[in-house]
Structures are given as structure tokens and as C-alpha cells.
Chains A and B, each alone.
Chain A
Amino acid sequence: MTAPHDENDDVPPVLLIVDDEPGMVALLTRFAGDRGFTVIGRSGAQEVLAELPTLKADAAIVDLRMPGVSGLDLLKAICDADPSCQVILMTAHASVDSAIEAVKLGALDYLSKPIDFDRLGELLTTVKRGIDRRRLLLAVDSEMASRFEFQGLIGRSAVMQQLFDSIRRLGPHVRTALVTGETGTGKELVARALHRLGTRKDRTYITCNCSAIVETLFESELFGHMRGAFTGATEAKAGLFELADGGTLFLDEIGEMPLAMQAKLLRVVEYGEVQRVGSTSPKKVSVHVIAATNRNLLDEVAAGRFRQDLYYRLNVVEIATPALRDHPEDIPYLVAAFVKEFAARFRKSLIGISPGAERVLQNSPWLGNVRELRNTLERACMLSESHLLSERELVAAMGAALRSRPAPTASLQPSSGLPPAAAELTPDSLREALALAGGNKSQAARALGLSRRALYRRLETLGIR
């Protein structure tokens, strides 16, 4: 008999041994311990049932015949708790029927007593290799992920590599840029990457989410105000443009910016001049402007909601981030990177995901793109109790997301090929969305792909109550 001790076992796999005969448990513990397993030995099946969720076993050896709970029941319970746990059954009575049933129920193998230890040794080696292989796969995937990682963006697909390439080429030259793409595709990461690769990488980088600013405060927020310029302006205040002077200002959700502000923005971008509210003299600033939107701005221009001249000024450099459904081949790398990140953050011993969970991830539509995938994995990792993220933990995490997501409306159908927000926002469609949401404005806004504030603004503009 040999003791094949592997080198890459920094976390030894956990083996659960259940037999009503304590002498047997001791023997198997000694045997498996020599083969690189951390062994949990139990001589009562009933107590094991109760503590199964906390044991986090990677594999188990279970006696078929025990008083109280049968080995088959325990096998079922173990497989239910964690389908990736491999179970070896043993019995003093070799019976073909129970052997077949055991394998049907998901047992790895079936040994009769007296135990053939050479055979058991081989089985344990197989089990350990399987676990090591999955660990290695995750390590390889996350190593690949880091190789295919670029400024926080991950992807080895052609579309993502093209994106990285554009950013790399354009970054050093960009003064104004427009980043377009669906929600959750990483527009902000692209903007940040452009800044980091640019000539101003050591200067200020400021983010402004246009949908989060009340319309009346827009001008003062961006350009600042003088003392006493309006009620409440007790102090003079610099705007974001002045704060970002010499650096980069990222204007997220530029499609939500009111038309009047768009005109003023154009003037800054064109002439590099800002004027604080209440001031008569313009001030020179040098700011690189990167704007982002999940809308189709050309449609917005056609509908008269976005200034054509500003659009053409911004889209000198236009970078589009692809939807996740256009590069599903990147999902394994994204998953590996996120699992590694969250396992570390939540101090879990997670080393990968089960094949079932992998299938679920690969087949989900991911309307919310990489952000949705990331959030889902964050929740699943938080819930996870074992070394491998199970399908069940994943589905539970996805279920939570589905419950918090509003019922899809016509404008949310991905088949239209347009981001939801690009759907026409006519007074009728707004009214319809409101009616569908039962008058709940937050919910209607979500369904339309707008922020609540942006919806209020639209309603106000269109005179809808």
C-alpha cells in the first residue's frame, strides 16, 4: 500500500466517515488521514443528519447498515446538502440490489466488508484527484482571468479584446469620449481606464451621475455658484468642472441631462470656459470629458431630447461596451475572478463552483450583464457553506434577484435589440409604465430603465401627473 500524498493540498479535502462501529471509524480515520484528508469521524448517523450543513464534507464513507438511519437515507441527505460531495458506501452484507440502488442515488462506489484497503486507497486517490482537479481548474481560470484582465475589465473573447485594444490605442489621446452600452457592461470601468491610460492619469478623476442630480441644481453642481446666487447659496462653491480642472470628469448617464444644461456643457467642452451661477466672468478650465449612456443618443437626438451638436462633439471617440450575451464565452473567467474575490472578502473556503452551478450560469440571460452576474455571485458566495459553490446556493441567490426585479414590461424585452432605455418614452409609454406599476414611480422608473429622478424629470417636462 502506498500513501499518495499530493503536494498541492494547502487545504486538505474533508472526508466524513460514518459507521456505527467506533473501531471502524478509528481505522478508516487513520487510513484516510495518511492519504491527505481531514477526517471527521462519526459513529451515529442521526447526529450526522443534524450537523450535515455545517460539516462541509468533500467526500464521505458511509456504512449502509446502521441503527436508526440507513446508509441510503444518509447518502440521499448528503447528496441533497451538497451534490458535489462524493460518497462511498460500505456494508457487511454484499447485496447487489442495495449496491445498484446506492449507485443510482449517486454513490461513487460500494465496498463490502471486510474492506479491501487497496481498493479503498484507489477510490480515495480518485476522489482526491477529482477535488484537486476542480481546485486547479479554478486556479487556472482565475490565472487566465488575470491574464485577460485589463483595467478591471475581464474577457478573452474577440469583442472584449477589441474593446481593450481600442482603449489602449485611444487612451493616451482622448480629450472627450462617449462610452455607450447597456447597463452593467462596465462603462464606468472603460471611462476610468481611458483616464488611467491617458496623459492625466495622476490628476483628478471625478464621477458625476447625471441621473442623480435634481434638475434645478444641475448648473450649480457642474459649474458652481457665487455666494447669494440663489436662496440657500450661503457660500460660494466650486462646481465639478472646476474641481476636475487639469483632470478628467466622467459624466455618467449623460442621456438624462436636461436640454438647457446640454447647451452649457457644450460651451465648456468647446471653449473650456465655466461660469459659476451668479458670476459674470467666465473661468478657464481644462477638463477631459468622458460621457457615458445606456441610451441610443442618435435616437434621443432624433426625438429632440439630446442636442445634435453636443452629440457630435462627444462622439469624436465613441467606445461601445458589449452586452454579456454577446460574449458568453467569458463567463467562466468572470466567474473565477468574482468567486476568488468574494471568497476572500467573506472569508469562505470556496475554491470553485460545481458543474451544475456552472451550467446555470452559462445558460442565464444576464439582462443586467456583468454587474448582474457579479451581484449574483456575491450573494451566492455569501450563502455558500462548502468548497464548491453549489447549484442550489446559486439558484437561491438568483431567486433573490428575480424577486426584487419588477415584472418585465414590453419595453424591457431584450429581443428588441435596443437597451431598454432606448425604447420610445412617449407620454403614452410613460403613462402605460406608470399604470403597469400601479402608480409606483420607482417601479415604473426601473421598468423603463430610468432612475427615479430621471422619470420625475420626464413626467414634469411632459406635464404628466
Chain B
Amino acid sequence: MSDQPGPPQDNTEHVAGERRRLHNVRNHLSIILGYCDLLLAEIPDTDRKHADLLEIRKAAAAASAILEGVPEP
């Protein structure tokens, strides 16, 4: 699946492409968040990597929250 839609030929195709892109972004964010959670569970919070991971997670969660506000095309 390509994330680069060509020039929209008609509206249906355009909407489908937008939806697909949104789907993929959510998917990728999900993966980032998921790995963060896995690592956070394994790394003790005394380790400074723990705090770094929390930062990554925060950013991914913020991006995810922005997407929540994006209406379905």
C-alpha cells in the first residue's frame, strides 16, 4: 500500500486515499506506543532510559490525540 496518493481523479478515490493514510499513521503511532509500553515495563524507572522512553511515549500519545480530533474523511 502506498502512502503517496496520485492526483485525485474523482472524489471517492481521494477520500479512500485520505482514509488509508490516516489508517497508516494511526497504525505507526500504535506501534511506537506499543513498543514504548513494552520497554517501559522492562526498564526500571531508576534507569534514565525510562524517562527518555516516557518522552517518546508522550510525543506519540500527543500525535495520537491530534489524530483523534481529525474528522474521518
Contact = CB atoms under 8 A, between A and B. Distances in A.
Given A27-B35, A93-B72, A115 B30 contact: yes
A386 to B, nearest CB: 29
A209 B61 CA distance: 78
Contacts of A27: 30-31, 34-35, 38
A147 interface: no
Given A1-B38, A21-B28, 14 more contacts: A1-B37, A23-B27, A24-B34, A27-B34, A31-B38, A34-B38, A92-B26, A93-B19, A93-B72, A113-B26, A113-B27, A114-B30, A114-B61, A117-B33
Interface string A51-80: 000000000000001010000000000000
B37 A117 contact: yes
7 contacts: A1-B41, A2-B41, A24-B30, A24-B34, A65-B23, A114-B26, A114-B33
Contacts of A173: none
B31 A24 contact: yes
Range class of the A interface residue count: 20 to 34
Given A30-B38, A67-B1, A93-B72, A21 B24 contact: yes
B54 interface: no
Interface string A73-96: 000000000000000000011000
A43 to B, nearest CB: 11
Contact of B33 (A1, A19, A67, A115): A115
Contacts of B72: 93
Contacts of A28: 34
Per DSSP, are chain B's interface residues mostly helix, strand or loop, or mixed? Answer: helix
Contacts of B23: 65, 92-93
Interface in B1-56: 1, 19, 22-24, 26-31, 33-35, 37-38, 40-41
A21 B38 contact: no
B19 to A, nearest CB: 8
A402 B37 CA distance: 55
A92 B27 contact: yes
6 closest Cβ pairs, A-B complex: A92-B26, A114-B30, A1-B41, A27-B34, A113-B30, A92-B23
Nearest to B68: A94
Interface of B: 1, 19, 22-24, 26-31, 33-35, 37-38, 40-41, 60-61, 64, 72
Contact of A23 (B1, B31, B38, B60): B31
Interface of A: 1-3, 19-21, 23-24, 27-28, 30-31, 34, 65, 67, 92-93, 113-115, 117
A65 B27 CA distance: 11
Contacts of A20: 1
A23 B33 CA distance: 12
Contacts of B64: 114
Of A1, A21, A24, A113, the most chain B CB neighbours within 10 A belong to A113
Contacts of B30: 24, 27, 92, 113-115
A42 to B, nearest CB: 16
Nearest to A25: B31
Nearest to A3: B41
B69 to A, nearest CB: 13
A31 B34 contact: yes
A20 B23 CA distance: 11
Contacts of B40: 1
Contact of B22 (A19, A21, A24, A92): A92
B50 to A, nearest CB: 13
Residue from B31, B60, B72 with most neighbouring chain A CB atoms (10 Å) = B31
Contact of A21 (B31, B37, B61): B31
Contacts of A65: 23
B34 A117 contact: yes
Nearest to A92: B26
Contacts of A30: 35, 38
A113 to B, nearest CB: 4
Nearest to B23: A92
Contacts of A93: 19, 22-23, 72
Contacts of B24: 21
A118 to B, nearest CB: 8
B59 to A, nearest CB: 13
A93 B38 CA distance: 23
A177 B16 CA distance: 82
